[in-house]
Chains A and B, each alone.
Chain A
Amino acid sequence: MKIMRPASTHGVTARVARCHGPHRKKELALVATSGPGLVVDVADLRKRYGRVQALAGLTMTVRAGEIFGFLGPNGAGKTTAVKLLLGLARPSGGRGAVLGRPLGDREARRHVGYLPELFRFQPWLRAREVLGLHADLIGMPSAGRSRAFDDVLGLVGLVERADTAVSGFSKGMQQRLGIGVALLGDPALVILDEPTSALDPIGRMDVRGILRAARERGAAILLNSHLLTEVEQVCDRLAIVDRGVVVAEGTLADVLGARETRITVEGLQPDGLAALQPFGTTRFDGRDLFVGNLVEERVPDLVTALVGMGVRVHEVASGRESLEARFLELVRANRAVDA
Chain B
Amino acid sequence: MITIARLTIGEAARRRILWVLVALAVLAVALTGWGIDRLVSIARASGTEELTIQLGVSQILIFIAFQFSFVLAMTAAFLGAPAIANDIESGIALALLARPIRRSSYLLGRWLGLAVVVVAYGGGSALLAILVVSRVSGYTPPSIIGPLAYLATEGLVVLSLSLLLSTRLPPIGAGAIAVVVYGLSWAAGAIERVGIAITANNPGVNLEIVGQVGRAILPTDGLWRGVIYGLEPGVVVAAAAGQPLAEANPFFAATPPTVGFLVWTGIWMILVMSLAAMSLRRREL
Contacts and interface: CB of A to CB of B under 8 A. Distances in A.
Interface of A: 49, 83, 86-90, 106-107, 109-110, 112, 114-116, 118-122, 124-125, 133-134, 136-139, 178, 181
A267 to B, nearest CB: 62
Contacts of B11: 122, 124
Nearest to A114: B98
Contacts of B96: 137
B204 interface: no
B100 A110 contact: yes
Contacts of B94: 83, 88, 114, 116, 118-119
B107 to A, nearest CB: 15
Given A120-B90, A121-B95, A138-B100, 18 more contacts: A88-B284, A89-B285, A90-B284, A107-B100, A114-B95, A118-B90, A118-B91, A119-B91, A121-B92, A122-B7, A122-B92, A124-B14, A133-B7, A137-B96, A137-B101, A138-B99, A178-B95, A181-B95
23 contacts: A83-B284, A86-B98, A88-B98, A89-B285, A90-B284, A109-B99, A112-B98, A116-B98, A118-B91, A118-B94, A119-B91, A119-B94, A119-B95, A120-B90, A120-B91, A120-B95, A121-B92, A122-B92, A133-B7, A134-B99, A137-B99, A137-B100, A138-B99
Interface in B56-110: 90-92, 94-102
A49 B284 CA distance: 10
Contact of A124 (B10, B90, B91): B10
Interface of B: 3, 7, 10-11, 14, 90-92, 94-102, 284-285
Contact of A88 (B10, B97, B100): B97
Given A124-B14, A133-B7, A139 B100 contact: yes
B98 A120 contact: no
Contact of B3 (A114, A137, A178, A181): A137
A89 B92 CA distance: 15
A152 B92 CA distance: 20
B123 to A, nearest CB: 25
Nearest to B15: A124
A116 B90 CA distance: 11
Given A110-B100, A139-B100, A133 B3 contact: yes
Nearest to A80: B284
Contacts of A86: 98
Contacts of B98: 86-88, 109, 112, 114, 116
A49 B3 CA distance: 32
A87 B7 CA distance: 23
Contacts of B102: 106
A115 B95 CA distance: 7
A163 to B, nearest CB: 16
Contact of B285 (A88, A136, A139, A181): A88
A134 B95 CA distance: 9
Contacts of A139: 100
Contact of A116 (B10, B91, B101, B284): B91
3 closest A-B pairs by beta carbon, nearest first, are A118-B91, A137-B99, A116-B94
A49 B208 CA distance: 46
A125 B13 CA distance: 12
A93 B98 CA distance: 21
A122 B6 CA distance: 13
Contacts of A89: 284-285
